[in-house]
Amino acid sequence: MPRRQGVVPPAQRQGDKPVAPADLWERIEAARTALEPPKPPGAFTAREYAEHTGISGELGRHRLNGMVRAGVLERGGNHFKWYRLKEGK
């Protein structure tokens, strides 16, 4: 349907913008974490590893990924967010 010149659709009129609830970001974060499966016992994140060993996050991820390739660790979670020792290692 062609638009008529000079006519602004109702959704684009000034003052019609919906107002977000005051707790919008908290609600979004709660929804995101509800979709994320919990970290299993004995698992840790790359950030936790880096903080524990006192190295940068980039170096920590590099070392952890090397241990995954060597078969010592396994990754899991959404987007491989956690690591843990492989069973029997």
Show me where the domains of the chain are located: 46-85
CA distance 60 to 66: 10
What is the distance between the terminal CA atoms of the chain, rounded to a whole angstrom? Answer: 66
- Digit-coded pLDDT (tens) for 38-76: 888 999 999 999 999 999 999 999 999 999 999 999 999
Residues in the chain: 89
Q: Is the pTM of this model over 0.75?
A: no
Three-class DSSP category at 11: helix
Q: Classify residue 54 by its DSSP letter.
A: T
- Whether 46 and 61 have beta carbons less than 8 Å apart is answered as yes
